[in-house]
Structure 1
Amino acid sequence: MVATSHPLASAAGLEMLAIGGKAVDAALAAVAVQCVVDPLMTGIGGDCFVLYAAKGEPAKALNGSGRAPGAATIDALHATGLRDVIPPTSPHAITVPGAISAWCKLHDDHGTLPLERIFARAIAYAEAGFAITPRVAQDWARNVDYLKNDKHAAAFFLPAGKAPLAGEMFRQPLLAERLREIATVGATAFYGGETARRMVGHLRALGGLHTEDDFTQSADQAHWVEPISTTYRGYEVLECPPNGQGLAALMILRILEGFDLGPDLPQADRIHLQAEATKLAYHHRDRLIGDPATSEGLADELLSDAAINALRSRIDPHRASPPVLWNEPEHKDTVYLCVVDEEGNAISFINSIFNGFGSTRLDPSTGVLFHCRGRSFSLEEGHPNAIAPYRRPMHTIIPAMVAKDGVPIMPFGVMGGDYQAAGHAAFLSAIIDRGLDLQAAMDESRSFAYGGELQIEPGIPAVVREELERRGHVLRIADEPIGGSQAIRIDPVTGTLFGASDSRKDGMAIGF
């Protein structure tokens, strides 16, 4: 079974399984197609994280996030006039993309089919064209003004000066060339040679600090690491360690485990508790999570009983409260997919360029659209997430997996930028605490406490909204769907696969 947020990606993954490919082959085929047919959400100029569990083996995590250029320092960015934040369209928001390094590492270690076969569908869609699906068209239209930040992106992605409509055909021939090069040569086709030289030249023309050496050294930057985990009601939940925000998802779950979130709990109470736990976890995320080298031991500390008990005790069941760090110091667009193959190998896979259309910075000579993940860096001296040479920024993209008695039983993920950690916790709570099936848990109306307000989808009843406002929450009705999600559950007794794909997107879960 394969579950993605785009029907052509799901079909490409299913094809790999049908011809005898394994989970990794299907995942790579699906993500390659999605980079073509959903270009505002993902691309080869982005980053990637993976959780992979071979049948009978513990899960492992692959960090495919990119590093800052070697010349990237706070002083260097201050000299350009940047003081507080890095704008998403700035060349300094572009770290060396890590996705292709991760794809090739994953294929080298666990792929069974040749990349030429795996990328065939993606290359064909890029060359011959594909029909725009409804949700992609909606998101594309929302980003028209943003795309106009870059003349090359606007010229390519806004044919005739406007976003393409659902059903219209679109082509990405230069992306087909890049995929064909990678399939033939490997990661060095992207990080070296003429392609890298052109990308670096374009980035430097924009004022970037990138060098060809930065790219050459990044071909093998993706690496395997140990997942972090916690238990929730007897299930083990696995996430990638920092620099991802998976730690925040585990913190929310641990905090919520101290409350009864069963089916009899009123909806306002459940949303309130999730909001309060989210605010606490995200406050720590924003203050403490950064590059793996600056986050050593952080998961053990923040998931400890001392930290969780202290944080949980600060939640008032009847009143919204401001978040604080547990030790009290004072301080002033993505795609996810998962696959389970006939052997039971499971993969949880996320690939992103961050904003819709990333940084909007498109190299017209290679067709590579760059992400803007470096905008997450802090420009504060001493901050764990401060920009520095070869450092990785904090990432919002997080694949996840659930295990029972040491056996992986569900790869899953939630898209939606900052929402992802909160989404992981809400999705699992709906399944474990209230017994919802995968699709029902995904399709529930969502809420998200972030940035001083509680965003809610329109489906949450007025009486619940009124109660949340009475408790002090500042509500904002979301003007677009909050996130998206995919999951595949493996029945531990029968081995049957149950899949779901979020109705907020165009995708599907499909198997045979």
Structure 2
Amino acid sequence: MRPIFTAMAAVAAILWPMASPAMAQDEGVAATETIGAGGRPVGAAWSRSPVYAQHGMAATAHPLASQIAIDILQRGGSAVDAAIAANAALGLMEPTGNGIGGDLFAIVWDPETERLYGLNASGRSPMGRSYEELRAALGDATSIPPLGHLPVTVPGAVDGWFELHGRFGRLAMDQILAPSIAYAEDGFPMAPVIAYYFQRNLRAFEQRLEMIGDFDNARATYFADGAPQVGSIFRNPDLANTYRAIATGGREAFYEGEVARTIDAYMRRIGGDLRYEDMAAHESEWVDVGCVEYRDGYELCELPPNSQGFAALQMVNILRNVDLSQWPRGSAEVLHYITEAKRLAFEDLGRFYADPAFADIPIEGLLSQEYGRRRFAEIDPTRANPEPAPGDPRIEGEGDTTYLTVADSSGMMVSLIQSNYRGMGSGLVPDGLGFMFQDRGELFSLDPDHPNVYAPGKRPFQTIIPAFVMRDGAPFMSFGLMGGGMQPQGHVQVLINMVDYGMNVQEAGDAARLNHDGGRRPTDDLAGTGADLLGTLSVEPGIPAETIERLRAMGHNVEIVEDGVMFGGYQAIVRDPETGVYAGATEMRKDGQALGY
């Protein structure tokens, strides 16, 4: 009956062209089920052109945030200024993925010093809550909950802004935050994908109100009339006031001033443990960026633990031992090798990755080519490993997010990722501040012998990771791909798409992805008790049916997922080393846009 319905809808559209938006939307959904993509004169039919520009480029998860970044660049701001401005806008416009209640990581290519700089702006657990006190608060629970005050850690993003700005900024912070303050006060139209995530978050919160404890502030800030609808005007005057305090008072206003005092009072009121002293003691850390060569002079660069970035480098070290280009990109062989490399790397991630201030992590061994060769030798080319395990990297003698990238006319390139972790975060909004606390502390282990075990004043394992690619020693691409455990495997898939299969920067992100979920986790005990070692291999509809059947025959548990939700959100900028021209790309699974000038 569907073809008849579609034909009738087409006739109705001719006879009643002024049909209501709701009717048009319903009929449009039906129409999309009976029609495919149009054609293109160049490039893949399922993709679109990258955006090219000479002087500056921004790619973010919201078109208005990208416009703000370009405006900052055109006013003389640096790529870092523009990235901060875009991040502030996204905290307002995409609070389903990020905000100043969360953490931040960044990689910056500085053309003046010709080097990469890495920033870890992640917060720590409350200093006044011991391991024993946490266990007592948890009762019979075997893990830290995702909502309420127990998973809340110090928000690191604002300090990250000021660390980046202090080293690479040009414009004053009040100029950088002015666009977001105006949008927070005057309002902006809600984007479709973000509206979808608002609805998902509201449903999840309402199902677990008892776990949250206090949801009144969050409801008043974000859900006063239910979840915001597509195209509705959304405002957040409380966040405007908080941004204004930061713009005029600097980081001290947030960590030592009225904002910190408000947070302290709020946490005391609801029985939480975060205190003024935790805020005042917070500081970010500049870290060394790690790079591993894949092939043909391409190096993938990531940040070290407590982030999961080095898992992508471990995957690269494994996959460099096989020429994937000998098979079609959508073949079972290619997907099998990517999946098995991910599973091995994540077994190590679940065993070793933690805050290096509290754990002795065998980084040199984990990233060595010899260890990559040994792990590659564990892959059976015809069969999924039913029980992968961590390796021995010792050398003798010795999880919802936003990603953005900005580049300026000087050649500076910024790769920045920022998140509240699961969904919108903990469900807790401090009185009158207009942002939600992250729930990153959920990612601590409770095994006292695990490197990632909870401790006071400790940074939990982090999923958010910015990425960068160098080519023949020169900056080539700043990029990232949000989405929990999807991130390292997504970084590697994009790299493979470009290096092994010659896709352009937009096609590399639009191509169908895989997302393996399962195996050892950094929240498990050391034995990985209860871990689903085989896990589930989720693939998008663009993967051929024959490939899916072959993967299942090889022992993989394959599921087809059509809505794109679990496959991340990609943004990227590529720089031509000869002309300096930028090519920008943005995620077709999100609302974003790449813009240049």
* SS of residue paired to 2:325: coil
Per the alignment, residue 45 of structure 2 pairs with: none
Cα deviation, 1:205-241, whole Å, max 9, x if unaligned, reads: 33322221111111xx112111111111021221111
Residues 161-172 of structure 1 aligned to structure 2 (within 5 Å): 162-172=226-236
What residue is the counterpart of 2:33 in the other structure?
none
Is the 8 Å Cα contact of residues 349 and 399 (structure 1) preserved in structure 2? yes
User: Contact 1:66–1:97 at 8 Å: present in 2 too?
Assistant: yes
Kindly name which structure, 1 or 2, has the bigger radius of gyration based on alpha carbons. Answer: 2
Cα drift, residue 472 of structure 1: 0.8
Aligned: 1:299 with 2:363: yes
Instruction: Determine the structure 2 residue equivalent to 1:325.
Output: 390
In the alignment, which residue of structure 1 is the partner of 2:222? 157
| Residues 317-355 of structure 1 deviation map (CA, whole Å, 9 limit, x = unaligned) | 1111132111299xxx11111111000011101111111
SS at match of 1:119: helix
User: What residue identity is the alignment partner of 1:461?
Assistant: P
Q: Equivalent residue of 1:70, what SS? A: coil
- Maintained 8 Å contact 2:415/2:480: yes
Alignment of 1:1-40 (within 5 A): 1-40=57-96
1:201 and 2:265 aligned: yes
What letter is aligned with 1:76?
Answer: E
Query: How many Å apart are 1:292 and its aligned residue?
Result: 2.1
In structure 2, the CA distance between the partners of 1:298 and 1:503, relative to structure 1 (3 Å rule), is: same
> What is the CA–CA distance in structure 2 between the aligned matches of 1:328 and 1:30, rounded to whole Å?
39
| Distance in 2 (alpha carbons) for counterparts of 1:427 and 1:263 | 17
Deviations 1:60-111 (A, max 9, x none): 1011000111123321111112542111103121111100011011111111
Deviation at 1:297, TM superposition (A): 5.0
1:454-473 alignment, distance < 5 Å: 454-473=537-556
Q: Is the 8 A contact 2:138 2:144 kept in 1?
A: no
Residue type matched to 1:100 in 2?
Answer: V
Which residue is 2:281 aligned to? 217
Shift of 1:492: 1.0
Q: Which amino acid aligns with 1:435?
A: G
Q: CA deviation digits over 1:248-281, x for unaligned, max 9?
A: 0000111111111116345211111111111111
CA contact (8 A) 2:352 2:361 kept: no
CA distance in 2, matches of 1:375, 1:188: 27
Decide which of 291, 308, 330 is 2:372's aligned counterpart.
308
- Distance across 1 between alignment mates of 2:230 and 2:503: 33
Greater shift, 241-250 or 75-84, is seen at 75-84
Unaligned runs of 5+ in 1: none
Between the aligned partners of 2:326 and 2:406, the Cα distance in structure 1 is: 30
- What percentage of aligned pairs have identical amino acids? 41
| Equivalent residue number for residue 238 of structure 1 | 301
Out of 568, 572, 577, the position equivalent to 1:492 is 577
Q: Distance in 2 between matches of 1:477 and 1:172?
A: 38
Shift of 1:163: 1.1
Shift of 1:456: 1.3
Give the 5 Å matches for 1:79-478: 79-82=136-139, 83-148=141-206, 149=209, 150-160=215-225, 162-218=226-282, 221-233=283-295, 234-262=297-325, 264-265=327-328, 267-321=331-385, 322-327=387-392, 333-451=400-518, 452-478=535-561
Contact 1:86 1:374 in 2 (8 A): yes
Distance change in 2, residues 1:163/1:347 (3 Å): same
Match of 1:501 in 2: 586
The residue type equivalent to 1:264 in the other structure is W
**CA distance in structure 1 between the partners assigned to 2:298 and 2:514 by the alignment:** 24
Q: In structure 2, give the amino acid aligned to 1:140.
A: F
- Structure 1 residues 328, 49: closer, same or farther in 2, change over 3 A? closer
Once residues 205 and 476 of structure 1 are traced to their aligned partners in structure 2, the CA distance between those partners, rounded to angstroms, is 45
The corresponding residue for 2:7 is none
- 1:405: Cα distance to partner? 2.6
Deviation of the 1:305 alpha carbon? 3.1
* Contact 1:72 1:387 (C-alpha < 8 Å) held by counterparts: no
Q: Secondary structure at the match of 1:498?
A: strand
How much does 1:479 deviate? 5.5
Distance in 1, Cα, partners of 2:514 & 2:352: 24
Q: Once the two structures are superposed, what CA deviation does each residue of 1:132-159 show, in whole Å capped at 9, x if it has no partner?
A: 0011011111112223332321333223
Kindly indicate whether the alpha-carbon contact (under 8 Å) linking 2:344 and 2:389 is maintained by their aligned counterparts in 1: yes
8 Å CA contact 2:110, 2:117 repeated in 1: no
- After TM superposition, give the deviation of residue 468 of structure 1 in Å: 1.1
Any idea what SS the aligned residue of 2:500 has? helix
User: Does structure 1 retain, via aligned residues, the 8 Å contact 2:81–2:165?
Assistant: yes
Instruction: Give CA-to-partner distance per residue, 1:394-424, whole Å, 9 cap, x none.
Output: 1110001111232211111011111101101
Letter in 1 for 2:288: E
Q: TM-score normalized by structure 2?
A: 0.82
* Residues 27 and 338, structure 1, Cα contact 8 Å, conserved in 2: yes
Q: After TM superposition, list the pairs within 5 Å mapping 1:27-66 onto structure 2.
A: 27-56=83-112, 57-66=114-123
Contact kept, 8 Å, 1:58 with 1:407, in 2: the verdict is no
SS at match of 1:310: helix
Residues in 2 aligned to 1:295 and 1:305: alpha-carbon distance in whole angstroms: 23
C-alpha separation in 2, matches of 1:459 and 1:237: 26
Q: Counterpart of 1:490 in structure 2: which amino acid?
A: R
Q: Which runs of 4+ in 1 moved over 4 A?
A: none
Q: Using the alignment, how far apart are the partners of 2:449 and 2:287 within structure 1?
A: 25
| C-alpha separation in 2, matches of 1:370 and 1:508 | 27
